[in-house]
A = this chain, B = another copy of it.
């Protein structure tokens, strides 16, 4: 039976005996531990239910995204996560998190986020008949706010990110606080990306992954680790994580200040100054001899244009993996490289036009 487990202090509880977005004893991020079984049936995220603590109750088309293989100097494996139902990979985690909220009897869902997660949580809350309330700073991107409103989410505007966090904590007394940067269900959701890649017969040599809170990165690594433990694969991809020059907590923890020029404001999806799972990210990176690439706005702009020529309409955060790949293309010659493209450009046509014209 699946359990909440705190890897730091040993706290443990049955998964459906109570909801914890962080360890009630020591305040660390929790893990969910269960017995994974490799069996496939059905489609989408449900196809790998045996590798999840519980199956999503409803499907709205999440998971099972296309893998586009392009033979270049490396073999490029683009995983089109932006073709998920709300336009980002977050739908994999939301599908599980909202199933959990529904099964646990919650009626209202709260979250502090201004990006793709807010959109995804709002959509899945509607699907499960729960009331979504999203807390975000007044100056959050207007495009994503509009989409949250369109989907029927209530937005509570605050004066700052800090105030949003404070208010959401107050509200969480009577509601399901998703806490996606803490919630291990987002890591488990993202792990299904690796299962799908494996099922298409691919075992990449490298995975280039943008890191904000690290859910996508930890998820992809967890997926390959599970396949390895089950004896299905013999190697785990070497991780190459991507951070922006304006926000690089992982790089800073390992190497200090970077001294590079430029900004990375366009990559708002990886602007997470204090990721709760920073330690886990560093452990996984070092264990698999990975490295960090830093990118800036000019490079992201170029990458966005080039990705359109490949047929991929993505947002700036997604384009960072292409930038990172180009920087070390020579080293990766002849290798198979997994490049997840995380978010849809269709959500921000106006903003993208402006960026491209600058």
Contact = CB atoms under 8 A, between A and B. Distances in A.
Interface in A296-346: 308-313, 344-346
Interface string A75-92: 000001001111100000
A239 interface: no
Q: How many copies does the complex hold?
A: 2
A124 interface: yes
Contacts of A310: 60, 127
A283 interface: no
A67 interface: yes
Contact of A83 (B59, B83, B200, B349): B83
Interface in A146-161: 146-147, 149-152
B311 A60 contact: yes
A227 B149 CA distance: 43
Interface string A181-223: 0000000000000000000100000000000000000000000
Contacts of A345: 150
A18 B60 CA distance: 43
Most chain B CB neighbours (cut-off 10 Å) among A61, A85, A124, A352: A61
A318 to B, nearest CB: 13
A275 interface: no
A67 B87 contact: no
Contacts of A290: none
Contacts of A352: 150
Contacts of A84: 83
Given A60-B68, A127-B310, A346-B346, 6 more contacts: A60-B311, A61-B80, A85-B313, A126-B308, A146-B349, A149-B353
